């Protein structure tokens, strides 16, 4: 069992699947990161490292792979976790936001009481590609009355310039392609 994982060691675990889920899309699969003992915690620690001083009060993980990192990041920061899910997956009253993907469109939802005015939220996802998902999640959190303090991802696809859609939002990525 490997005990130390820096960004390069984590990057070496990411698998790539060309033309998935659609032709022209190259899917970065984090499953090997999850299956390697110690790598998930190392990834969560690396994804959290720049946000300790931002007074985060809630971590919001974006469906579905943001759910894998989000609870660990919330634990590291000592705050609560809430899910941001695809439309129709959350019970109770929700707020929705539709957005475009590099291969279609979708809608995200958050429960109306998941974050409240005064919360400083850290958004968590696995990959930053075109920025549509994080932009929609940002809008959801703001509509709910909270502040998005930053976003963190394991992987950023720099060549898609997704960070540009997020304006001045602090964004951290551990692995870059």
Residues designated catalytic = 65, 102
**Sequence-ordered alpha helix ranges (H) in 36-175:** 39-48, 66-77, 132-143
Asked if 146 and 115 count as a contact pair (C-beta separation under 8 A), the reply is yes
Contact 115, 126 (CB under 8 A): no
The span from the CA of 175 to the CA of 177, in Å, is 7
| Distance between CA atoms of residues 44 and 83, nearest Å | 16
């Amino acid at each position: 069992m490997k005990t130390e994982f820096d960004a390069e060691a984590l990057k070496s675990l990411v698998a790539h699947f060309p033309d998935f889920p659609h032709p022209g899309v190259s899917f970065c699969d984090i499953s090997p990161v999850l299956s390697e003992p110690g790598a998930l915690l190392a990834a969560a620690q690396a994804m959290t490292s720049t946000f300790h001083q931002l007074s985060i009060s809630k971590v919001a993980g974006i469906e579905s792979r943001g759910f894998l990192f989000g609870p660990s990041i919330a634990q590291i920061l000592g705050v609560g976790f809430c899910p941001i899910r695809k439309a129709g997956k959350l019970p109770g009253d929700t707020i929705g936001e539709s957005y475009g993907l590099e291969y279609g469109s979708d809608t995200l939802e958050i429960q109306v009481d998941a974050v409240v005015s005064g919360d400083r939220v850290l958004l968590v996802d696995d990959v930053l590609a075109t920025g549509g998902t994080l932009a929609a999640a940002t809008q959801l959190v703001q509509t709910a009355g909270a502040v998005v303090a930053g976003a963190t991802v394991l992987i950023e696809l720099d060549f898609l310039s997704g960070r540009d859609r997020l304006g001045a939002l602090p964004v951290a990525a551990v692995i870059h392609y």
